[in-house]
Chains A and B, each alone.
Chain A
Amino acid sequence: MTAGRPGRPASAMRRLGRASIIVASILFLCLFLVVPLASVFVEAFRQGAHAFVESIDQPEAMAAIRLTLLVAVITVPLNVVFGLAAAWAMTRFQFRGKALLGALIDLPLSVSPVVSGLLYVLMFGAQGWFGPWLATHGVKIIFAVPGLVLATIFITLPFVARELIPLMQAQGSEEEEVARVLGASGLQTFFRVTLPNIRWALLYGVLLCNARAMGEFGAVSVVSGHIRGLTTTMPLEVEMRYNEYNYVGAFAIASLLALLALLTLALKSALEWRYQAAENHR
Chain B
Amino acid sequence: MRRRVLPGFGLSLGFAVTYLGLIVLLPLAALAWKASDVGLAGILKLLASPRTLAALKLSFGGALLAAGLNVVVGLMVTWALVRYRFPGRRILDALIDLPFALPTAVAGIALTAIYAPNGWFGRWLVPLGIQVAYTPLGVLLAMVFVGFPFVVRTLQPVLQSLEREVEDAAETLGATGLQTFLRVVLPTLVPTLLTGFALALARAVGEYGSVIFIAGNIPLRSEIAPLLIVQRLDEFDYATAAALGVVMLTFSLVLLVLVSALQRWTRRWAEQSA
Chain A residues in contact with chain B, CB under 8 A?
Answer: 1-5, 13-14, 17-18, 21-22, 24-26, 28-29, 32-37, 39-40, 43, 81-82, 84-86, 88-89, 92-93, 95, 101, 104-105, 107-115, 118-123, 125-129, 150, 153-154, 157, 173, 176-177, 180, 185-186, 189-190, 208, 211, 214-218, 221-222, 234-236, 238-239, 242, 247, 250-251, 254, 257-258, 260-262, 264-266, 268-269
Contacts and interface: CB of A to CB of B under 8 A. Distances in A.
A4 B83 contact: yes
Contact of B104 (A115, A118, A128, A218): A218
Contacts of A13: 177
Contacts of A5: 164
B155 interface: no
B229 A114 contact: yes
B246 to A, nearest CB: 9
A39 B24 contact: no
Nearest to A108: B24
11 contacts: A4-B85, A22-B80, A26-B88, A33-B96, A92-B6, A95-B13, A113-B104, A114-B227, A119-B28, A217-B103, A217-B104
Contact of A118 (B31, B77, B95, B227): B31
A142 to B, nearest CB: 10
Interface in B1-53: 4-9, 11-13, 15-17, 19-20, 23-28, 30-31, 33-34
B37 to A, nearest CB: 10
B107 interface: yes
A235 B106 contact: yes
Contacts of B20: 86, 101, 104-105, 157
B109 A221 contact: no
B86 A89 contact: no
B120 A122 contact: no
Nearest to B252: A110
B77 A123 contact: no
A88 B113 contact: no
Interface of B: 4-9, 11-13, 15-17, 19-20, 23-28, 30-31, 33-34, 73, 76-77, 79-86, 88, 90, 92-107, 109-111, 113-114, 120-121, 144-145, 148, 164, 177, 199, 202-203, 205-209, 213, 225-227, 229-230, 233, 236, 238, 241-242, 245, 248-249, 252-253, 256
Given A104-B24, A110-B253, A111-B249, 16 more contacts: A1-B84, A22-B80, A28-B73, A37-B110, A92-B9, A95-B9, A95-B13, A109-B199, A109-B202, A112-B249, A119-B31, A154-B24, A216-B104, A265-B101, A268-B94, A268-B97
Contacts of A18: 84
A39 B110 contact: yes
A122 B33 CA distance: 9
Contacts of A37: 95, 98, 102, 110
Which has the most chain B C-beta neighbours within 10 Å: A95, A123, A266?
A123
A235 B209 CA distance: 9
Contact of A154 (B27, B97, B102): B27
A114 to B, nearest CB: 4
Contacts of B205: 112
Given A25-B80, A121-B233, A269-B94, A114 B206 contact: yes
Given A26-B88, A33-B98, A101-B20, A189 B208 contact: no
Contact of B109 (A26, A105, A222, A242): A242
Nearest to B141: A32
Nearest to B181: A17
A6 to B, nearest CB: 10
Nearest to B242: A122
A266 B106 CA distance: 19
Contacts of A105: 20
A177 B5 contact: yes
A103 B27 CA distance: 16
Contacts of A85: 11-13, 15-16, 19
Contacts of A121: 233, 238, 241
Given A22-B86, A29-B77, A254-B109, A86 B230 contact: no
Which has the most chain A C-beta neighbours within 10 Å: B6, B7, B25?
B6
B16 A154 contact: no
A258 B97 contact: no
A115 B248 contact: yes
Nearest to A239: B105
Contacts of B102: 37, 215, 257-258, 261
B106 A257 contact: yes
A169 B259 CA distance: 25
